Amino acid sequence: MAIENVLIEKRGRVAIVTVNRPDKLNALNIKTREEILAAFDELAGDAEIRVVVITGAGEKAFIAGADINEFAGMTAVGQRAVMKGRRAFDAMEDFPKPVIAMINGFALGGGCELALACDIRIASSNSKLGQPEIKLGIIPGGGGTQRLTRLIGEGKAMELILTGDMISAAEAERLGLVNYVVAPEELEAKTMELANKIAEMSPVALAMAKQSVKNAARLDLRAGVEAEVDLFALCFSSEDKEEGVRAFIEKRKPDFKGR
């Protein structure tokens, strides 16, 4: 498969995946979604990479949603077939390393949903977020009704999904939909600062921590706490645990190897 719509840049321990269809505001057509999956598969197996940042090319958009042109004339059977394979949204969530959405403009529909499936979201102050599907006579289909509701609560999620209204980055921050809002010229520096800080941690512990936090939305409290105990104990099988504890005792910085 020729990779056309997704770029991968590696900066030390951090990889930046850029959805690259700026003339279409990085709208997710089928090919782009497949390429995102391929990019994440490559990065999952790259031991040098500990954190992934996903963003959109150009000045205007993170991702302006699914490619609406592919909906025209599409049947229910056809659409179901497109959606029933492995999905980019789930790939962010299942990815064994932290994923940060660097939101640099419109994050609408599937773009907002892709950001919701990431672990941390940082937005430029000129970004606009929303789930406008209702205006097309459809509903969010990339996990939006579930992940948005879990993240910001039913009342506000319902309002955004029923009205299709876009909200500002500042409002998104107020709702807890994004972690930080920064000036556009500071977006990359702020994102990389956070990504590099996380990338210094043990990759083993990062994977366990991500899985355990994700369990909060999947399991009831008792099962989640029990699973946390197992994941906690599993960290004790790593060389990184020994290194982290020794480094503390020896009053030095740990050097985690991901083993």
Catalytic positions are: 113, 133
180 burial (CB, 10 Å; 0-12 / 13-18 / 19+) is middle
Q: φ and ψ at 204, to 5 degrees?
A: -65, -50
Total number of residues binding ligand COA (CB under 6 A)? 15
Nearer to ligand COA, 177 or 192 (CB): 177
- Tell whether residue 17 is a contact of ligand COA (CB under 6 A): no
- Tell whether residue 108 is a contact of ligand COA (CB under 6 A): yes
Please tell me the distance from the alpha carbon of residue 66 to that of residue 116, in angstroms, as a whole number: 15
- Tell whether residue 25 is a contact of ligand COA (CB under 6 A): yes
Number of H helices, E strands in the chain: 11, 10
- Tell whether residue 163 is a contact of ligand COA (CB under 6 A): no
Please tell me the distance from the alpha carbon of residue 73 to that of residue 68, in angstroms, as a whole number: 11
Residues 240-259 that bind ligand COA (CB under 6 A): none
Tell how far CA 207 is from the center of its chain: 14
Nearer to ligand COA, 9 or 159 (CB): 159
Residues 69-88 that bind ligand COA (CB under 6 A): 69
Among 15, 27, 49, 187, binds ligand COA (CB under 6 A): 27
Tokens at residue 114, please? 């892709």
Tell me which residues touch ligand COA (CB under 6 A). 24-25, 27, 64-69, 106, 108-109, 132-133, 136
